[in-house]
Homo-oligomer: A and B are copies of this chain.
Amino acid sequence: MRIGELAGRTGVSVRALRYYEEQGLLTSERSESGQRRYAANAVDRVRLIQQLYGAGISSASILEMLPCVLTGVAAPDVLAKLHGHRSSVVQQIEELQETLLQLDSVIAGATEAYATGKPCPPR
């Protein structure tokens, strides 16, 4: 498929796809005229990249772990980094869960205040 279709299927912009290639995260065949052609599994690849980006992992780190993700083989140092990223994701989740509690208490307080017309006691 061509780049526009891949963009449409993944919801990622054409510019971003070219950027991924620039970073070595995504490869493509080229037609005779030089246009990019992608295999069907490129869709999954792009989604994986997006997911890792979403976890705050940099393109350099993604590049490092991609072969491992694709082949299942990892050098010990890469494996160590994978563990590092894992802990960072766990920590992010924990922090977000705490933030969620905060937001909930704010929302609850504000909703009640709005219903009763009385401001809640300041924290």
Interface, chain A (partner B; CB < 8 A): 48, 51-52, 54-55, 65, 68-74, 76, 78-79, 82-83, 85-86, 89-90, 92-93, 95-100, 102-104, 106-107, 109-111, 113-114, 119-123
CA distance A114 to B68 in the complex (A): 11
With A93-B93, A93-B100, A111-B79 in contact, is A106–B51 under 8 Å at CB? no
* Pairwise interchain contact A72-B103, C-beta atoms closer than 8 A: no
5 cross-chain pairs, A with B, having the tightest CB-CB distances, nearest first: A72-B120, A74-B110, A72-B109, A55-B99, A73-B119
* Pairwise interchain contact B82-A103, C-beta atoms closer than 8 A: yes
Interface majority SS on A: helix, strand, loop or mixed? helix
CA distance A79 to B111 in the complex (A): 8
